[in-house]
Structure 1
Amino acid sequence: MTDRVFNVLFLCTGNSARSVIAESLLNVLGEGRFRAYSAGSHPSGAVQPMAAELAAKIGYDASQLRSKSWDEFAGDGAPPMDLVVTVCDNAAGEACPLWLGSPTTAHWGVDDPAAVVGNEESRRRAYLQAFTVLRRRVELLVALPIDQLDQLAAQQQIRAIGQVTP
């Protein structure tokens, strides 16, 4: 076991719901082994209140969440990433910037709870569903002996996590 901290960037288009939920989950469940960030290709500029509420419920300081551009993680001074995970199909199909550190990449597509239209109950259900899928995947990531895997093995296992549903 190593004391190394793995930097993980979760990407989505708007960086308002799925990617910020994943960021908060990994920062809590990773127990210091991981440092998670999130960003968007076209950030909305605001975190969805239900996403922030779910982050707070697991003990994450939701005031740390903000909707930001992936450009913050592509330039000089950005932390080098070990892993970059897209959580929406749109971001997965876009041409991403070059990331410092030659990270492993994976796609963990999750339905967008922010796109659900309807009453508050149906919207909350959509957020809880996205949260549940992302939590299971983050739990699997945290359980991996990532520091003992070569990059190809890590990439295969991390990409396979994107196929898991609770």
Structure 2
Amino acid sequence: MAEGFGKALMGPDWQVESAGIEMHGLNPKAVTVMAEVGIDISNQYAKLIDLDYLNQCDLVVTLCGDARDKCPMTPASVQKQHWPLPDPAQANGTVAEQLAVFRTVRDDIRHRVAALVS
């Protein structure tokens, strides 16, 4: 979701990518809630992060405690931000309740990405 907002809001001067220490498939609930706000993320995928990847970055944003704790050492030259968001994929309950969690996280991400732009 963050990559989708980044690409939609940040413009051509930014290169925005999703990356992680593990590759997981795209969560269909994320695709659904992003489509609700007019952003198609259905072709996105997370790239594997490593030190070479990090050395090419100006800014790294981790989105949950697990990512922050497991992310390889970020070089001192790279700005790092941590956004302590709940992982919506861990939401329980009915599909409607799970989608509500995805929407809450989606909206939080949108505000944070917009703040980076300004």
TM bucket (normalised to shorter chain) is 0.7 to 0.9
Aligned mates of 1:35, 1:104 — CA distance in 2: 15
Counterpart in the other structure of 1:110: 85
TM-score by structure 2 length? Answer: 0.85
Aligned mates of 1:30, 1:54 — CA distance in 2: 20
Aligned mates of 1:86, 1:95 — CA distance in 2: 8
Counterpart in the other structure of 1:43: 23
Please say if residues 113 and 126 of structure 1, whose CA atoms lie closer than 8 Å, have aligned partners that are also in contact: yes
Please say if residues 28 and 60 of structure 1, whose CA atoms lie closer than 8 Å, have aligned partners that are also in contact: yes
Aligned-residue CA RMSD (Å): 2.3
Please say if residues 33 and 99 of structure 2, whose CA atoms lie closer than 8 Å, have aligned partners that are also in contact: no
Unaligned runs of 5+ in 2: none
Aligned mates of 2:110, 2:37 — CA distance in 1: 11
- Aligned residue pairs total 118
Aligned mates of 2:15, 2:43 — CA distance in 1: 13
Please say if residues 52 and 62 of structure 1, whose CA atoms lie closer than 8 Å, have aligned partners that are also in contact: yes
Aligned mates of 1:63, 1:121 — CA distance in 2: 20
Unaligned runs of 5+ in 1: 1-20, 144-166
Counterpart in the other structure of 1:55: 34
Counterpart in the other structure of 2:43: 64
Q: Share of identical aligned residues, percent?
A: 28
What is the CA distance between 1:102 and its match in structure 2? 2.5
Inter-CA distance 141–104: structure 2 relative to 1 (3 Å threshold): same
Aligned mates of 1:140, 1:30 — CA distance in 2: 10
Please say if residues 26 and 42 of structure 2, whose CA atoms lie closer than 8 Å, have aligned partners that are also in contact: no
